[in-house]
Amino acid sequence: MSQTLDQIYIANPITTNLSTDLMYFSRSPYTTGNDAGMLFSNFSTQFASSSLTSGHIFVGNGINVASSVALSGDATLSNTGALTLGTVNTNVGTFQGITVNAKGLVTAAVNQNYISGNQTITLSGDTTGSGTTAITTTLATVNSNIGTFQGLTINAKGLVTAATNQNYLTANQTITFSGDATGNGSTAVTLTLANVNSNVGTFNGITVNAKGLVTAAASVSPGTSSINQTSSTATLAASTRYVTNNGATLVTYSLPTSAAVGDTYTIIGASAGGWTVVENSGQTINYGTQTTTTTTGSLSSSNQHDKITITCTTANTTFSAYDPLGAITVV
């Protein structure tokens, strides 16, 4: 028997009888009549919805009802049913024969060759040798300065092959100095400088001793007068500059017979005739390592513009020439 229901009232959850595949619906308590029933399979066909969002799947939720959800997490699902794994590996490639893609999947593999027995191994570089179960090594030759240094003996391979203790100062031992300074002592040493200067004296206010040390200095006024020398002879006067200007004729300058230590004379060439400086009896002139002949010696220019400065170093008798310009002839 079948009946048409104008209205279904569900007061309680729908009940089913799995053994008979029946579902039971009760009429409204406000009316009278029989209960209604239908097959569960027919109910599912008549009342279940067939719509589902593109790319979604049905998943039972917390109250056991099928819900439409998208597949997410390590994989996604398209509306064609294609499952796509997420990208989890940035180091794509082949390692030890195993090829791994961006999804972390092994896509290829090949066997690798490893040592499977006593194979020969050859060493090179700073150490050489070869063998299977035992290798005799030879270090490379790296040191050409073979020998013993400060008690350490070093071979061609740079290895220390022997060592001995060295003796160093352990107390106040006597030390002896030689060379440009001499002396000896233990806790205190008095040094003496060697004599290196044979031209001892005062030059332009500077006094130099035999050791080459300046022992005194004084201000020296430069020449206060200049003479345009146009005649062929002149006697030098202290603190005077002489400009030799006598055309093609030689100018002869004579040292003064009376000269104080420090008296200075300057001679400058300006004419083609040139100049010469001559001595008086008992006088000499030192020029670097050269010394003029006593009494008869001289200094002379070689070119038109040669120059020389002369200073008395021993009163009346000894003079030093310096600050030259050009080639000076010493007789």
- Mean pLDDT in each 10-residue stretch from start to end of the chain (331 residues)? 48 49 50 51 53 90 88 91 91 93 92 79 92 90 92 93 84 88 90 92 83 84 78 94 95 96 95 96 95 94 96 96 94 94
Judge whether 142 lies within some domain.
no
Backbone angles phi, psi at 68, to 5 degrees: -85, 120
Q: In total, how many domains does the chain have?
A: 2
Judge whether 29 lies within some domain.
yes
| DSSP conformational letter for 40 | H
| Predicted pLDDT at 9 | 44
| Predicted pLDDT at 64 | 86
Judge whether 193 lies within some domain.
no
Judge whether 67 lies within some domain.
no
Give dist(CA 133, CA 202) in Å, integer. 87
Judge whether 114 lies within some domain.
no
Last residue of some domain: 5, 32, 47?
Answer: 47
First to last CA, the chain: 165
Closest of 257, 261, 260 to residue 206, by C-alpha: 261
| Predicted pLDDT at 265 | 95
Which CATH number covers residue 268? 2.60.120.640
Q: 102 by DSSP, 3-state: which?
A: coil
| Predicted pLDDT at 268 | 95
Q: Which residues constitute the domain of residue 28?
A: 15-47
| Predicted pLDDT at 99 | 95
- Nearest 5°: the CA angle 243, 247, 249 is 100
| DSSP conformational letter for 197 | -
Judge whether 310 lies within some domain.
yes
| Predicted pLDDT at 128 | 93
Give dist(CA 331, CA 26) in Å, integer. 156
Instruction: Output the pTM of the full model.
Output: 0.36
Q: Which residues contact 133 (CB under 8 A, 6 or more apart)?
A: 118
| Predicted pLDDT at 35 | 52
Judge whether 98 lies within some domain.
no
Judge whether 320 lies within some domain.
yes
